Structure 1
């Protein structure tokens, strides 16, 4: 069997976790999907809801940008600007990107890019004199010393970044020293097939000290090699002290490698079912002491618990060390309601609730459709509807209409028993005189009109966000209501027997149960089994995505 498997120490793209496509791929660096989750928690921790996302124009940056954009907007964070640094590194295009960031008025920018793209990007940021912002970097560049040495980079604000977990790896420096000394007075042309001609020019005096980031990255290489060694050790049954000399196939080694679980420099090395390591990420922050950059680890993200932990108080590059803010509109105070202004749900005005009222966060089908449809197609009508409490007025007026019909009906012609001789020749039936009166018909017609109006609005809401289905639930309930009463009136017309009352009771029960089950069952399901959908952020995202979709048509 021709089979090869790989263990990577640097490939972090999330699709490499798909075992249907890459069944024999493992890695010692966490997946990019993990650092996207870390970034989201960081944004939520400091309540940054108005951000920009920049990526590099390659598989790493474009996928990272897309994943973070989807995750952030799904949690109530607005992204007024996002773009890719062109692979050509054309300065005029990058200048336009920087101008777009400035025009968006964001104070937090996530840069999910390879280090080779970031250098020229930050040079343009410095030239544009952007200051007072927070820059969140992805793992590939956030701890890169060369980027931190860009002239005047410290002036752009606070720079945080995802980083490989810091690992103390002192043997790396000892190895490099030994490697340099090994060339002294030795002829290495024979017997060694891994001669680095450039490395032979190094001396102990000009050899740089490995940074913590370099050591951590080297540890990924080190643990990948050890993983193979542990797998071979198990495959060849070396525990007894002597290995079995037998033919070993790569697929056999892969099965052993998947199950390795050992500790290296106090770090656990193992893999999950996707071939990803059990380790998480660290998060660091740059500080400048006399313009000398220092990257300090300030927290960590645990993969198993999904919890971001920050260590102590952070040193922000602000005048009073206050946490920078980035929002479109300040949160409304208690007793105020939000009215969205413009395209993004993060931008709104706050209006005081009327006296003796409170903010009701639930929406009925009529109100939902008005919000979506009016906000998209009739913004002026929508503003008037909100300011005048249109939904409340509609409920009051429609209820008063029903009461008015009943009062007029009873006052003008009160019901009385009448004798029915026509239904059964041998019997006289006493029944209510108003079962076929004008008042009774008016009441039925009015209820029918309200039901048809409600159904019409629900049908208009059939193209609302897929993950928000209240209008669909009400449409289903109303269909059950219609069918039950159509069945009753049809039976009443063609049948006048003793079971008419039972059919009437059945129609009432079916219509009521249809509304209760059709409307409340999905809500109970969401509350008990899908609580993540029962949040304000989820509803705001539904509005934003719907509005964006409609504006693009």
Structure 2
């Protein structure tokens, strides 16, 4: 519909005020100081109509064309917009006289009425004061109609501005001096068709054209343009109302061609596709031109998906603000019978109108409107559309924050999901975290009170407080797995846990190693044991592990900080808020360091599986590590299977579970001995265990 609006608009830029007169208006007629003619194929004939005597056709008895009826309404809408504007034609009214042009050869009374003046038609060179009834004509739509009617207007240089006639012959100004159009000519359309064919390297092509000036012009242009190319015309046929499509399809199959260009008026193109569905003419590539590429009903026909792939060429469709409201307010009733009133007369020389039209240069609906020396539009946007089973699309990509269902014509916002702090699961995890910190403080207090006891010393002495402190600091990470993530959230999810858990695991590596030293290496490797004790080897290992992890974090965060991340691949209609890992390589090395510490810890503690039966340090560490491994295996499995906002909650639970593994299974047994079995918390008891074990291994 935009080409029609463009066709009408230039006519308002040259007009000046003249004396007013009043006339009666109807849907097809509107009085005004200046009159425009309109020719619209509101109805169309499905085939030749034979009469026994020359009569004008009754268009209302023919098949209505909804699309062209809307174009007719666009002209009425545009005139109303112009008349209501205080900027375009102040003090001047624009009127129209519109006719239903349903036949190329049986609508001449309407044409003669438009070009008449005072009941007569005279060429402009015979009467200097001759003025036509209208200052210009909008339409007709089809090339065949323009060929039949335009010569009658152009002999008096009455501007004819077509919104659909694309035949290249109209660019010849010697024949059509007052013709202009707001659509691309066939020359441009054929150029795009060839570009598509060459892009896919198709060389064996069928060309079907309608048996009318439009189709013949397209075929001639196509044949002319492929003469010096690798494209060969396998088969061509002209489409008529009585075409034998079954025979035509068999001939195409016999030529082995799979690419078919249908360059035809809409009625003939629809016949081709319907016949292809009917006769199961399938698995072809169809190139549709703009006459039928955007047909709304054809792509929904049952079985249309079987005919193959349809690539359409069409001018960009631009919505006209206010038009739908205009249609609803005016109703759908035609006033074609109300033709008894006359129109105002105006003194307007059509050659001057034509000269001003050719100078048109303005913006309309964000499109530049300008004609070249041949009366063709200078600027027009084409799009390539693709049909599927349901409908035809000019596809665009939705933004990352939007989504659309299959076949949708618009994008909708995605729902954003995250786990807030007020979520019941979040509240439970946070309460468990506070309890862990409180329990760690209570255990630290108990161990401090009994600091000189054998149980505390065997558990690591001062190292116990370092482990408990690091467990409490690790728990800080849990608080940042909830609510909308920020850069600070993303950093603090990883930093406290990885950094201080590294210290915890390093302490266990040292404890496991020292247990082996006490019971096995003291007698076998006394010098190494002496060196270890002299240079505080345990603190050296812990310091190196911590320093390495700090160094990795500095490198990682200096190159790329962890940042909030929108997970859009899991669900089409949702965005799951999360965090990326920052520098993934550095993060991987940090995790590898944790894994290495765990491996050494497990190795050393497993070596102590044959230690005294009642001495359970190594066994406690081994059990803690097994639970840690199991925890992260479960989380990894959940992460691979589950996709949703609660993945962050599961991560927080894995961290919390890791902390409880150490707190409960390493420290609680020692607290139990201190409180409930004080007889085992004596130097004599521990010395007896060591002496007994030493005697056994010395044998």
On whether the aligned pair clears a TM of 0.5, the verdict is no
Of structures 1 and 2, the larger Rg is shown by 2
**TM-score, length basis structure 1:** 0.40
Larger RCO (alpha carbons 8 Å, 6+ apart):
1
**TM-score, length basis structure 2:** 0.32
